[in-house]
Amino acid sequence: MANDSTDELTAEETPEAEPIYETLTFLDKAEQNQRLAVEELINTETSYVQNLQLCISDIRNHLQKKQLPEIDLEGLFSNIDDVLHISRRFLKGLEAAMNQEHEQLYHISTLFQELKEEMENVYKIYCGDYDQALLLLEIYRNEPRLQKEIVDTLTVTVPHIGASDLSFFLVMPVQRVTKYPLLLQKILENTPVSDSAYGALQAAAAAMTDVNANINEYKRRKEVANKYNKPGYLTLRERLARLNPHSIAKKTTRLSRLFMQEAGIVPKTKDKEFDTLEEKFQDLSSAVADLKENVASFLSNTEAFLSYKPHENELGTEGGTIQQYCQLAGKLHSTVFAEFRRRLENLVYLPLVNLSETLKGPQKLIKKRLDKQLDYEEFEEKRNETGSVTYEEEAAMNTYLAINSLLVSELPVFNQVAQQWLGHILRTFVALLRDLAKQVLQEAEREATQLPHRHLPAPDFGKMVKDSLSQAEAQLYSYCKKFETVMPSSVAEPLSPAEERKVHSLMSKHGPEKLYQVTSNTSGSKNMDLVLQRGQIVALLHDRDTKGNTNRWLVDSGGPRGYVSPGKLQPYHLVQNQKPRMQVSVPGGGGEQMHHPYNLPQAPSPALHFRTQALHVVAGYPFAARSSHEVSLQAGEPVTVLEPHDRKGCTEWSLVEVNGQKGYVPSSYLVMVPIPEPPGWGSPAWPYPAPQT
């Protein structure tokens, strides 16, 4: 009985024992696979960090020592230093998690989630630059000398790896970041759902999947941006070649929508976040452009200053003080000022140029965003009306979203970096000016200690300076007197008939005391500056310009009016026995003598005897009548003045008769000219003095 009972019990228990054994076997195998997956994560991370260290400390440093300017190391290795830094931190955290037997998986999951944002930011930059690094490698492969240098570097630094190309190392960060989700998924597959770390592992795997998705989206946006941001994206010929009915229609649609938005016919998409970022960017661009222009002008003025070297001129003066000044000025010009100009160009102007070039990329992208935004709004409106858009229209909408997302995410960082860059340039500029002032002061103090009168009290020194200036003034006055005695007196040079008529006209309008002669040819560089020839006669209208600058005189050249430097004018003196009559009678009023704005003043001195000439009034400028009360004039047309004023007595208008028609004309348009007579006017000429024997 007992044996039968035992046999029955065993038979009953046997079917239940087999599933339990299988479950235990499965758990042991899953746990083993889980442990192997964790070990794979840690071991591969260790090998990865070691290879990164080799790439940086050995390969890159070896290429740097070769000093090959053709190889762009920054373009090849991008931010690999940041990748190594975050990978070291991650490896250190993994090694610390190995000591946590029961909480190991939870700590690994937490580590991934804590470093998610940093990993994404670091790997996003590296993966975004990876395609450019491959293009550089392709260029270097086509250059045998550069390719040999790279291969020799790999042979010397990492012979045990056997890598024949640098891309073997450059691709490692790209491969590593894509492998993290796979390793986590492998650990998760071998972890029971009932495990306390299962939820954390799921979150870590999802986080690293999001990291890779965000990196891919960033690369896509960057590719779109690079498409529209290439230097010299399209030449004029290429732009013309791309013109076709489709492109013309697209541009017309954009322009039409822009006009409708400005007119308020259709709504305009508003993005306050982007508008704020763009406004700050445009302010930075404007500040950089203004500073660049000002620094360029400053450099140009510095060059002009350095080209003028008065200390090298020998003025025939002697004395220790003058020699010391020449020594100081020579040293400042040759060393201090020259070094300041060099540092200013290298440390301020060239960085400004580079910053200005850097700003062009975002500027192009912002402009392209506006074009794509107009397309997006058009297609979005179409989709709302019809419910669908074409594949090309969908792609255009995605392009706008990509550009907009890229700008919104990147412009804050760019603005911050550009602002820091600009601030550093300004601080450098201020430091250079401070150093210049300090060096000049040091040199001046060093020379001042050698002056013979350095120990004099201030009152005595002032008296000495005053006496020296008085002595120099007396010497200069003596030089001027001697110069006047050496220079020959002026002689009369006959004027041409046309020049005579112009002189008569100028004198009749402005008076003889306003006449000046041009001493040398002038070529105007500013607005309203006149181009005059040497010997030409002009009349002074005002001794300054509209801004009060006394170095620009307003003159009448007998034709156009404009500005000329007073340094190129000298008073013009008429030959007295040929001065014209200074008064003219106007019909009406019983032959009363009347003066107009165009009459000449009466001769100042009756003691002088001049041969007089008959004058008559002509139109100096053409005038078109604007009403029935006015009359038209042609330049040079004879005019009979009936009244030198209007009905209210204002002398700005004159009643005249021209070709039998009567009406008012501006008095300033009338001039008095002499009836042609034999030429007798003379202009001064200054021949060169005869050589002394």
**What pLDDT digit, counting tens, does each position of 212-260 carry?**
999 998 888 778 777 766 655 556 666 666 666 766 777 777 777 777 7
pLDDT tens, position by position, 290-327: 999 999 998 888 888 878 777 776 655 555 567 777 77
Q: What integer pLDDT is reported at residue 690 of this predicted model?
A: 39
Q: What integer pLDDT is reported at residue 316 of this predicted model?
A: 52
**Cα–Cα distance, 549 to 581 (Å, whole number):** 35
**What is the rounded average pLDDT of the residues 185-199?**
89
DSSP H or E stretch at residue 265? none
Q: What integer pLDDT is reported at residue 592 of this predicted model?
A: 38
Phi-psi region of 195 (alpha: psi -120 to 50; beta: other; left: phi over 0): beta
Question: Would you say residue 424 has pLDDT above 90?
Answer: yes
Question: Would you say residue 342 has pLDDT above 60?
Answer: yes
Question: Which carries the bigger pLDDT value, residue 357 or residue 5?
Answer: 357
Amino acid at 62: H
Question: Would you say residue 653 has pLDDT above 90?
Answer: no
Q: Which of 516, 562, 561 is nearest to 538 (CA)?
A: 516
Question: Would you say residue 2 has pLDDT above 50?
Answer: no
Mean pLDDT score across all residues of the chain: 79
221: phi then psi, degrees, rounded to nearest 5: -65, -40
**Cα–Cα distance, 396 to 406 (Å, whole number):** 15
Question: 177: Cβ–Cβ under 8 A, 6 or more apart, which residues?
Answer: 119, 123, 127, 211, 212, 215
Q: What number of CA atoms fall less than 13 Å from residue 200's CA on the CB side?
A: 15
* Contact yes or no for 212/112 (Cβ under 8 A): no
* Contact yes or no for 329/310 (Cβ under 8 A): yes
* Contact yes or no for 389/383 (Cβ under 8 A): yes
Q: What integer pLDDT is reported at residue 522 of this predicted model?
A: 83
Integer angstrom CA distances of residue 529 from 460, 532, 540, 558, 570 = 50, 10, 14, 15, 18
Q: What integer pLDDT is reported at residue 20 of this predicted model?
A: 46
Locate 673 and state its tokens: 């000219």
**What is the rounded average pLDDT of the residues 482-502?**
64
Which of 341-350, 447-456, 504-513 is most confident?
341-350
pLDDT tens, position by position, 19-52: 544 544 555 787 888 889 999 999 999 999 999 9
Q: What integer pLDDT is reported at residue 421 of this predicted model?
A: 93
Q: What integer pLDDT is reported at residue 87 of this predicted model?
A: 94
CA torsion sign, 379 to 381 to 384 to 386? negative
What's the angle, vertex CA 478, arms to CA 477 and CA 484, rounded to 5? Answer: 90
Which of 172-181, 632-641, 657-666 is most confident?
172-181
- pLDDT > 70: percent of the chain: 81
Question: Would you say residue 601 has pLDDT above 80?
Answer: no
**Cα–Cα distance, 464 to 461 (Å, whole number):** 5
Model pTM above 0.85: no
Burial (CB count within 10 angstroms: exposed 0-12, middle 13-18, buried 19+), residue 651:
middle
Buried b vs exposed e over 489-526: b needs ≥16 C-beta within 10 Å? eeeeeebeeebbbbbbbbbbbbebebbbbbeeebeeee
Question: Would you say residue 461 has pLDDT above 70?
Answer: yes
What's the angle, vertex CA 558, arms to CA 561 and CA 655, rounded to 5? Answer: 95
CA dihedral 477, 479, 483, 485 (to 10 degrees): 70
Question: Would you say residue 678 has pLDDT above 70?
Answer: no
Q: What integer pLDDT is reported at residue 484 of this predicted model?
A: 66
- pLDDT > 90: percent of the chain: 21
pLDDT tens, position by position, 510-521: 888 888 988 888
pLDDT tens, position by position, 92-130: 999 988 887 678 889 999 999 999 999 999 999 999 889
Q: What integer pLDDT is reported at residue 527 of this predicted model?
A: 76
Q: Which of 528, 524, 506, 527 is nearest to 516 (CA)?
A: 506
Q: What integer pLDDT is reported at residue 3 of this predicted model?
A: 47
Question: 65: Cβ–Cβ under 8 A, 6 or more apart, which residues?
Answer: none
**What is the rounded average pLDDT of the residues 255-284?**
82
Partners of residue 670 on adjacent β-strands: 619
Locate 467 and state its tokens: 């006496």
Question: Would you say residue 528 has pLDDT above 50?
Answer: yes
Q: What integer pLDDT is reported at residue 513 of this predicted model?
A: 86
Q: What integer pLDDT is reported at residue 231 of this predicted model?
A: 53
Question: Would you say residue 676 has pLDDT above 80?
Answer: no
Question: 520: Cβ–Cβ under 8 A, 6 or more apart, which residues?
Answer: 534, 568
Q: Which residue has the tokens 């290879």?
A: 51
Question: Would you say residue 586 has pLDDT above 80?
Answer: no
